[in-house]
Structure 1
Amino acid sequence: SFPAAIATGDVDLNCPHNCNNHNTHFFGTDKQIVRRGQAFNFYVNFQNREWDDSRDTISFTVETGLRPCESNGTKCNFSLGKWIDHSCWSACYKPHQKKCMNITLFPPTNACIGRHILNMHVTSCNRTYDRCLGDFYILFNPWCADDPVYMYNEAHRKEYVLNEQGMLYQGVHKYITSRPWHFGQFEDGILDICLKLLDMGANYHHDSNRESNWRNDPVHVSMVVNHMNNDYLQGAKPLSWNGSVPILQQWYKGRCRPVRYGDSASLASVMCTVMRCLGIPSRVVTNFYSPQRAENALVVNELFDCTGKTLRGKDSLWSYHCWNESWMARRDLNQCCGDWQCLDPTPLETGRGSICCGPTWVRSIKDGDLDLDYDGHHMFSRLNASCVGWLSQGSVSKTKLHYDTWPCGQYISTKCIGSDLREDITRAYKYELGMDQRLYLDSQEFEILIIRNINKHILFIVKVPTSLRSPFLSDAGIAMRLKMANCPVYGQDVCLQWVLENLRKEPKNLNFNLCAQVMTCNGCPLDQFWKDNMNVILGPREGKKHWSYLIHSCWSKVNTILKSSCVFHQLLGKPRVHATCTAEISFSNPLQENLRNCVLNLEGCGLFKEPTTIE
């Protein structure tokens, strides 16, 4: 009699074990989610007899995309062998138990990321049949030395790949504020949403073939994500977002229509979520004083009137701007080791339209090698542009007031590894200036001090007009410094301290015009709400201190948000996993006035199915 063809039985994909080994168990263990360049295994049971190498063979087909094709790397056929070949898709086996085989499958480091279908073809005793083993997901692997996204430090991998919590830094360089952000890259459904974003973004790729193998290259993947995550025109206020998950879910449920709107911080944070979800180490970076829409990439022009009021011009100097950094080895630049690459999903308006910069090698920005990268000159100008102040003297005439080479690219910040503290990474982008940074102001120059207040700023501009021939106070023999005597708190007056010094032997008679106006964080001047005049007489080589007070009632109409210290929460009862619990949330009014139209936003990872708003 002829031997019977072997019959396959149950297949155990061994998902929990594989997910733990591949650091993907944070997604859950009900799906097969693995990282390329690292083998995973599963078990195949046979119904009627033991496996026989002389009569039985198995081959596999792995497919991804809408139109899988071997020529572009989206389809691969390979046979079950005796050992693993790490240069390509391969599989090997060993006996496990009676009528059971342990199969090890290896996805190479150039495999395309995304959802794949695995089919098994069994040939036994001249009979062939197929068995679909279902789908599985492949991600980039920062734990694999052969993957371009490899990161050698485990603490760095935990922070930039596995950590779902982050901190965003905003404000101005002298008063940096922070707020938490929930990236949520391992939340239910986020992986499928991120892959859907790649599907939609395929049209943005330079290759017209949607099913090309660009998904195996982190550079091309990052370009697609960067160009997809950039609509911010109208809709919800940016500060209403506390995490990426609601934004991505709204985009997915809304049939991939843009979610509006987000500032640079939320755009960079959502991109960071997508990149970490796909396995690319990423972090959000904040740059303080960042030019946007500048006609001359290396010069930002600011326009003032004779009272010191900032006028709206064509150029814009944002008080802060966020982008994303992703870690990868740039094969297109012949890099053998990974390094940080800049990706800015916020559109930059240029004379040729809007663009999204990156990926740009951070070191190339520091060294000025601007011909190496995607839009490297735009990133360089944001960090090294000079600021020129002009005094408006009518509709067509203006006088140059000052030229400042230092305002842009200050205190570049990101979250520290393993803590919520801020790390200053300015030296990664810029060489330290080898000169004294003490400023001697122009006799008609404006000293600018910005106070952070939620999504708006209060801008204090101090003008020191004289009839001196020289445009600089240092030439005129006057040194001046201005600072806040106290940290501004909503509900309290703001105290400004002036330090004036006469460097000459003759007395000085100076007149100061002071004004304050609201500035948005993107450099848009609003109404002037306070101004004053002060006359100061300085004797020969005399120094004086003066104080100016901005009364709270002058700026109390600016919208604000209560500090977290004013909000209290307490759990009522002992919390238990998978059980409903009750919490009491209360807040106290720290101001000497009534608060109206208050809104309390509640959001918690694993605690609420969706964010809750209480008015």
Structure 2
Amino acid sequence: MQGDRKTSAHSCHQRVIQEVRFITQQCVRSNLEKMAENLQVEMVYFYASQNAKAHHTDNYEVVNDPENPIPVLRRGQKFTIGFRFSGRQYSSGTDNISVVFNFGPRPNIIKGTKALVKLKETKAFKPNGKRWLGAITSQQADSVIAEVCSSYECPVGLWSVQVETSTENSIYQPTIYEWDSPLYILFNPWHKSDLVYMEDRLLDEYILNDVGKIWIGPKNSSRGREWVFGQFDACVLPAIMFMLEMSEMPYQSRGDPIKLTRMISKMVNNNDEDNGVVVGNWDGIYEDGTAPSAWTGSVDILREYWETKTSVCYGQCWVFAGVTATVCRALGIPCRVVSNLVSGHDANCTLSIDRYYDENNKELDYDPLNEGHMDSIWNYHVWNDVWMARPDLPPGYGGWQAIDATPQEVSSSSGVYECGPASLEAIKTGAVGFNYDVAFMVASVNADLTRWKRDPKARLGYTRIACNKYHIGYMLLTKKPWIFDPNGDQDREDITLEYKAKENSPEERISLYNAVRGSSFAKEFYELPSNTDEDVELELINLDTINIGEDFNVTVAAVNKSTSVRTLKIQLVVKSTFYNGIVAHQIDKVEGSFKLKPETNDRLVLHVTKDKYLSKLVEYSNMKVHAIASVDETSQIWVDEDDFQVKKPSIDIKIHDEVYTNVPTPITLRFTNPLQTALTKCKFNISGSSAIRSQVVLYPEVKPGGVIKADTQLMVNAPGSQKVIAVFDSNELRDITGSVLVEVFDEQ
């Protein structure tokens, strides 16, 4: 009996196991059947070119790729998307379709890096700004078309897409379709709710213009240098995405233009050794890279950065600014390039540019009050303005914001090499307590140039002997919207008054003193006493244009306004300098002492011949005149300086009057070597609008005074007005440029 019970229990147990297996198999089969009932997505259409036209992104080459077009969209704006199904048709009321947009490796709805858009049937819907929305707008036999609108606050960059399909009241998992292509979502300056919104007519210049100018050179000889931004080139957006990854910026912060432009100012340079885009170099030695003056634009730089995944050698301030403009415009942030002629570099937050002298009036080559750092004055310095609202600041501080991608000083708020965004309104009013780096920018455009002489009796060991209130920030320039002048400066716009009040006006002094009050260190420097017993008026006469190879004179004019004889001691020194103010070579020097009769005037002249300066010029051919004078009877001390640049020839570009698309067009580049030495390792870089591919033309050695004439062919793939830019580079002579505007017609 016991054995029979064991046998019966065993049989019962086996039946239970079999029944469980049967039920499990039925459930699995039922689940698979239900899964099979879900719509099967065969294809997703993003209508790249149609959406691009409405989103002002139809110039991006990735959109127009004939084999693999990648959508480029602007946030906060509707776009069309289509779905084609296999197996069966879409059934209204039964089928659910959701589109999932993912950003970054760990997308999260709460952080704004993931969006789930459930598509409902409606003919139209009203965008809701901060939310992603979508709706099915039409249906065909095997497909549906929908409209989706992203949030105007969503992060910008590369997004991935999934499509989820399920049936109504189903308890089973949805079917997921992975779209095999990414899409770009950018800032939308045409959208009034986007922080970067700007008046529509200005966006033709600050977003869509892909060729511009950057003003370089000292105050009396600055010139507009053509630069190809090329923000629509196929390599630009991928290079920017790589830069974003190298920055390690949180994904959820990449929709904030304030944080993003600050990061851009850090990552365009490589000063923090974070694999930024461009390595800075100011020593004139470029054998292991490209000389900054040889670049014609940003595209070649960003292409090399993207292909090699390493920083590109080399750049200087205007190269950093050109690349920054490309990055910002490509991402949808309105941007302009700004050149500050006579730019202050305040290394110790005094809001003054300080120069120190010993007891014998010899200038010190160090700052005795700031060991390891020294203020400097750049002949010119170039940075960028970006346009945005500033919800983090009080009302009235939005609009143009300065960012600087050239590594000068670490930011006071982060300790790394980044600068801005600093509100131009805050700079102009001296509101140094506002983010970011406003004090540094105030000093760049409006610091006083202060001279100090060693004095053991003074509290700091130095006494202020001279102060020039009007030297720094001589003029700030940018390109005027909608104009391009290939032969002159008719496209130059003076924006000095956007950065500071008129020099020598009460408003200008009030704003500077307002900034000084915000810094205890600066306040101490500005409150120190100064000597004012001055009755001899001295002036360093600014030089007019000097062509390379010509002699020139340096002159100091002196007027004795007193009724007594004055004994003057004057020293004049001419030096070649790099554009950031660093001295390269001393060219000539003269010293003199003479009596100046009461109420009379006189002049001291230094004649500089070409033989003395030609061999000592460095790139950009900048020179500085430094003058210092003292009056024995009154202990008056006067100091002044002037920066100037010898003028180089420009490239004469000859091109056929009739240029057609996709037809090789002859082009000739020509200029004369102005030097008495041969030019070696010569090359022309030719570039232009996005329709013109850049090319390099090598040229043999050029004899002293020889004519350089290079013939090549140009291929243009789009009609309309196109800008052609050429730059000549050699070991002995750099920064020779030229440009021409040509009208291109469709192929006959």
TM-score, reference length from structure 2: 0.69
Give the 3-state SS of the residue equivalent to 1:431 in structure 2: coil
Residue identity in the other structure for 2:298: S
Q: Is 1:347 paired with 2:411?
A: no
Residues 507 and 538, structure 1, Cα contact 8 Å, conserved in 2: yes
Provide the residue aligned with 1:467 in structure 2.
none
Change (3 A) 1:392 1:263: farther
Change (3 A) 1:171 1:588: closer
Mapped pair 1:382 → 2:444: yes
The residue number in structure 2 matching 1:583 is 667
Change (3 A) 1:144 1:368: same
- The verdict on how the C-alpha distance between 1:151 and 1:351 changes in structure 2, with shifts beyond 3 A counting, is closer
Shift of 1:277: 0.8
Q: CA deviation at 1:311?
A: 4.5
Greater CA drift, 293-302 or 535-544: 535-544
C-alpha distance in 2 between matches for 1:304 and 1:419 = 47
TM-aligned CA distance change 1:547 to 1:78, over 3 Å: same
Alignment match, 2:347: 294
> Secondary structure in 1 aligned to 2:392?
helix
1:487 alignment counterpart = 545
Determine the structure 1 residue equivalent to 2:727. Answer: none
The DSSP-based 3-state class of the residue aligned with 2:148 is strand
1:402 aligns with 2:466: yes
Determine the structure 1 residue equivalent to 2:218.
172
CA shift digits 1:332-383 (9 cap, x unpaired): 2265995111212222336986532212222112222222212222222323
- What is the DSSP-based 3-state SS (H/G/I as helix, E as strand, rest coil) of the residue aligned with 1:364? helix
How big is the shift at 1:118?
1.7
Q: Please, which moves more after superposition, 11-20 or 545-554?
A: 545-554
1:425 aligns with 2:495: yes
Instruction: For residues 20-46 of structure 1, give each alpha carbon's deviation from its aligned partner in whole angstroms, at most 9, with x where no partner exists.
Output: 111111113322110001101033345
Residues 6, 46 of structure 1: 8 Å contact kept: yes
Check 1:58–1:564 CA distance in 2 against 1; reply closer, same or farther (3 A cut).
Answer: farther
* Match in the other structure for 2:234: 188
Inter-partner Cα distance in structure 1 for 2:114 and 2:138: 28
Structure 2 match to 1:454: none
- Provide the rounded CA distance (Å) in 2 between the counterparts of 1:274 and 1:17: 24
| Corresponding residue SS for 2:254 | helix
- 2:101 aligned with 1:62, yes or no? yes
For residues 100-119 of structure 1, what are the structure 2 equivalents within 5 Å?
100-119=143-162
- How many aligned positions are there? 569
Distance 2:188 2:331 in 1: 9
Quickly say closer, same or farther: Cα 1:550–1:392, change in 2 above 3 A.
farther
Give the letter for the 1:272 counterpart.
Answer: A
> Which structure has the larger Rg?
2
Give the conservation status (yes or no) of the 8 Å contact 2:411–2:437. no
Correspondences of 1:233-248 after superposition (within 5 Å): 233-234=280-281, 235=286, 236-248=290-302
Distance 1:509 1:100 in 2: 95
Residues 310 and 184 of structure 1: is their aligned pair in 2 closer, same or farther, counting only changes over 3 Å? Answer: farther
Partner residue of 1:219?
258
Q: Which residue of 1 aligns with 2:639?
A: none
Equivalent residue runs for 1:535-574 within 5 Å: 538-544=596-602, 548-557=606-615, 558-559=617-618, 566-571=650-655
Within the candidate set 426, 429, 432, 1:364 is matched to 426
SS in 2 for 1:179: strand
Deviation for aligned residue 1:279 = 0.6
Secondary structure class of the residue paired with 2:545: coil
Unaligned runs of 5+ in 1: 438-469
SS at 1:517's partner residue? Answer: strand
1:261-272 → structure 2 map (5 Å cutoff): 261-272=314-325
1:249 aligns with 2:303: yes
Deviation per CA, 1:4-24: give whole Å up to 9, x if none.
875555543211111111111
Deviation per CA, 1:442-477: give whole Å up to 9, x if none: xxxxxxxxxxxxxxxxxxxxxxxxxxxx966xx443
Q: Percent identity?
A: 26
Report the CA distance shift for 1:227/1:77 in structure 2 as closer, same or farther (over 3 A): same
Aligned residue for 1:448? none
In 2, the alpha carbon distance for the partners of 1:258 and 1:521 equals: 23
| Partner residue of 2:182 out of 135, 156, 164 | 135
2:80 corresponding residue in structure 1? 41
Which 10-residue stretch deviates more, 497-506 or 52-61? 497-506
Offset, 1:572: 6.9
Residues 550-583 of structure 1: per-residue CA shift (max 9 Å, x gap):
2121111114679785533334796442344443
Quick one: distance in 1 between partners of 2:427 and 2:542? 34
Whole-angstrom CA distance in 1 between matches of 2:258 and 2:188:
14
Alpha-carbon shift at residue 428 of structure 1 (Å): 1.8
Q: Which residue of 2 aligns with 1:442?
A: none
C-alpha displacement of 1:290: 2.8
Looking at structure 2, the residues matched to 336 and 407 of structure 1 have their Cα atoms a distance apart, in angstroms, of: 29
Superposed displacement of residue 497, structure 1: 4.6
* Whole-angstrom distance in 2 between the partners of 1:566 and 1:319: 21
2:78 counterpart of 1:24: no
Instruction: Name the stretch that deviates more: 122-131 or 311-320.
Output: 122-131
Task: Return the TM-score normalized by structure 1.
Answer: 0.83
Q: Does 1:324 align with 2:384?
A: yes
- 1:492-530 deviation line (CA, Å, top 9, x unaligned): 111345443332344555453322122222222233221
